[in-house]
Amino acid sequence: MSEGVIVFALIVAVLIGVGAASFLVLRTPAFWGEVVRELATKAWPQVLAILSKRMTPQEEAEWRKAERAGRGDEWRRKRLGLPPKG
């Protein structure tokens, strides 16, 4: 199969998904509005905690030291628990 056919199939699949989701929302907007509101109220404290998390002064000093040594990306991957790059 050529790459163009695969891309076309993916685009069609996404458009079908968006169309189906739109149909469901238009069919019962009050229900989906409540679902979105409920998800937002449950998820917002967790999202806020992740976005507002700060490094301790010791972590920041280690990070700056790693950045100066050219190992900043490696340090971030380790801190986030990601596998080493490469």
**How many whole angstroms separate alpha carbon 28 and alpha carbon 24?**
6
Q: Name residues whose C-beta falls within 8 Å of residue 49's C-beta, 6 or more positions apart in sequence.
A: none
What are the tens digits of pLDDT across the range 49-76?
888 888 889 988 998 999 999 988 888 8
62 and 32 housed in the same domain: no
Whether pTM > 0.75 for this model: the answer is: no
45 and 75 housed in the same domain: no
41 and 80 housed in the same domain: no
Domain that holds residue 27: 1-53
Mean pLDDT, the chain, whole residue set: 88
23 and 62 housed in the same domain: no
User: How many structural domains is the chain composed of?
Assistant: 2
